[in-house]
């Protein structure tokens, strides 16, 4: 199970920001 990823809000935020930047680009 990948609960560590869900437990890591910082990592999720980084992924979200990266996705947003790529989408905006």
How many domains, in total, are found in the chain?
A: 1
CA distance 11 to 17: 10
State pTM to two decimals: 0.40
Question: Which residues form the domain of 14?
Answer: 1-25
Q: Which two tokens stand for residue 2?
A: 């990948």
| pLDDT tens digits along 1-25 | 455 656 666 677 888 899 999 998 7
> For position 14, what pLDDT does the model report?
83
CA atoms within 13 A on the CB side of 5: 6
> For position 13, what pLDDT does the model report?
81
Q: For residue 25, what are the CA distances in angstroms to 8, 11, 14, 17?
A: 26, 21, 16, 12
CB 21 within 8 A of CB 14: no
């Amino acid at each position: 199970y990948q609960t560590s990823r869900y437990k890591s809000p910082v990592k999720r935020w980084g992924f979200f920001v990266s996705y947003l930047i790529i989408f905006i680009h």
